[in-house]
Chain A
Amino acid sequence: MRLELRDVRHVYAAGTPFEVEALRGVSLTVEPGEVFGIVGGTGSGKSTLVRHMNLLLVPAGGEVLVDGVDATTLKKSELRRRVGLVFQFPEAALFAPTVEEDVAFAPRRLGLDEEEVGRRVRESLGLLGVGDLAGRSPFALSGGEKRRVAIAGVLAMGPEVLVLDEPTAGLDPATRGELLDLIRHLREAGVAVVLVSHDLDEVAEVADRVCALHAGRVCAIGTPAEVFYRDPGLAPVTVRVASLLQESRPEIGEPVRFGETVAALRALSGV
């Protein structure tokens, strides 16, 4: 599916002295099967923005379109099945006595038969690499395991767009790398992923396009190179290294991903 936000505005505590304009007219489109990165400082509106993608928040102005159709006309349950939203620290919402039960909760609520529920639970846990934990209590797992189980619970609904809000915060480096592999895998399977992250290096590694937010507005949107080379001071490490060399060696171009950067740097230093 194609998910489009047109001039979306949001105001918290409207009409009170605490009124905050969190989104001041944001327009963007998440294309089917792409990885769409959203970056920006604390308070820039990232989490407010993604809550509009499945209408958990309703825009005060502008509209959300699903394949060109006004999302407010769709059934909410349908919209939330198609756009899966994983919050920050989603492990806080684990509740069932076993991992299996927890992941089965949402697909069961969709009214699927038990066979299909079981298939989806196994598939999601398998994708997250935690299939062997199915019978365990979610409360006896490590932080990284809990995070994966929580993501599997949303994945089991079979979303067409999966929104991940800071999915790697607090995880060890190897687990972070495995979640990036999962994102690549989902892209191959045709699932679009919206990745909100403070970690620019990880956004650089997997995003097809990037949107940078500042104070509730889009300040840049485009390919990772287009966005990150605008301000190399606040860019992924690969971009910072390459941009330091650009002045004397313009032939280096604008590499972003680790592999591209290594190739560009090798060509430069004649290795």
Chain B
Amino acid sequence: MQNLGTGTRHGGSFAVSCEGLTFSYPGFETTALSGITFELRPGEYVGVVGPNGGGKSTLVRLLNGLLRPDSGRVLVSGHDPATEPFEVRKQLGVLFQNPENGLVAPFVEDDVAFGLENLGVPRGEMRERVAQAIRAVGLEGYERREPHTLSGGEKQRVALAGLLAVEPEVLVLDEPTSMLDAAGRREVLEHLEELRSRKTVLHVTHHLEELLNADRILVLNRGELVADVSPERLLSDPDILRENRLILPVVPRLARALGFGANLKRPEELADAILTRAESGTRSR
């Protein structure tokens, strides 16, 4: 495994810590996860990628206590989901792939309040936290809208607001954009980017381009953590990419084909680099 300086261990100071996490589904011969060890420091934005069947979804379910490990341990802000599920649910919220499955209430504001109601938060405080969460995802004015009338991106933002209202320290995003169209995807990613400074985020995705600004990227393949590296390192290592069924996103792939470094991420950056080179080429001729 490649490890690029994830710092020294400090007992319970991690937002999430997984140690030797191993899990097999009953009736299956292969282990879904074996010996996974990593930590998330408070405020980090960490991506998780890897092939279908690599163990990404299993990891998410172990983090929020839907599954219990066969061996090893998860700690979320120092709490073990296996023994303190309610505490962990306050500290860690999961945004799932399909927003349709998570929306339960007749109006947006009720849906956002749902998690808080279950925690028994007093009414006045609840109202305030719901309003704040709705603002955080840019849905002011949507409070009395019915969730089924919203676009996919808006639904996913309602689901995100429901998580934020609970004020968890950690957000786990499980392929949050894979059911959305291009516009919905962009709008959800923009709101996630805004949350970055305030939350610890673990973002599971098949879209490497969503992780170009992550602090680190974990690569899971056949149940093993095969890399824990910076995005720059991952993008510039064709072997890790190939072995883990990853493909360079279009901008870095164009950049590489043109002989630029893999640090160009956005279309605008690549266009600028091409213009600069074209102009210097003209001058030298």
User: Footprint of B on A, CB under 8 Å?
Assistant: 40-43, 140-145, 169-177, 198, 200-201, 234, 236-238, 240-241, 244-245, 248-249, 258, 261-262, 265-266, 268-271
Contact = CB atoms under 8 A, between A and B. Distances in A.
Contacts of B246: 172-174
Closest 3 CB pairs between A and B? A142-B53, A174-B245, A144-B52
Contacts of B270: 241
A147 to B, nearest CB: 8
Contact of B259 (A174, A244, A271): A271
With most chain B CB atoms within 10 A of its CB, the pick from A173, A175, A270 is A173
Contact of A41 (B50, B181, B247, B259): B181
Contacts of B178: 169-170
B175 interface: yes
B265 to A, nearest CB: 11
A145 to B, nearest CB: 7
A234 B250 CA distance: 15
B1 interface: no
B50 A201 contact: no
B276 to A, nearest CB: 9
Interface string B254-272: 1001110000000110110
Nearest to B282: A270
B190 to A, nearest CB: 14
Interface string B51-62: 111100000000
Nearest to B249: A237
B26 interface: no
Bin the interface of chain B by size. 35 or more
A171 B53 contact: no
A172 B52 contact: yes
A41 B278 contact: no
Contacts of A268: 274, 278
Given A173-B206, A175-B52, A42 B152 contact: yes
Nearest to A44: B181
Contacts of A43: 151
Given A41-B183, A240-B267, A271-B277, 7 more contacts: A143-B52, A170-B52, A234-B182, A258-B250, A270-B281, A270-B282, A271-B259
Nearest to B285: A270
B53 A173 contact: no
B184 A42 contact: yes
Contacts of A172: 50-52, 54, 206, 245-246
A100 to B, nearest CB: 20
A259 to B, nearest CB: 9
Contacts of A176: 206, 247
Contacts of B50: 172
A20 B260 CA distance: 50
B247 A269 contact: no
A171 B271 CA distance: 29
B181 A237 contact: no
B227 interface: no
Interface string B72-95: 000000000000000000000000
Interface in B114-156: 151-153
B181 A142 contact: no
Contact of B277 (A41, A169, A175, A269): A269
A271 B273 CA distance: 13
A262 B250 contact: no
Nearest to B177: A198
Contacts of B259: 271
A216 B277 CA distance: 44
B250 A237 contact: yes
Best-buried of A172, A258, A265 by chain B (most CB within 10 Å): A172
A154 to B, nearest CB: 20
Given A173-B245, A258-B250, A266 B28 contact: no
B43 to A, nearest CB: 28
Contacts of A143: 52-53
A245 B275 CA distance: 8
Nearest to A240: B267
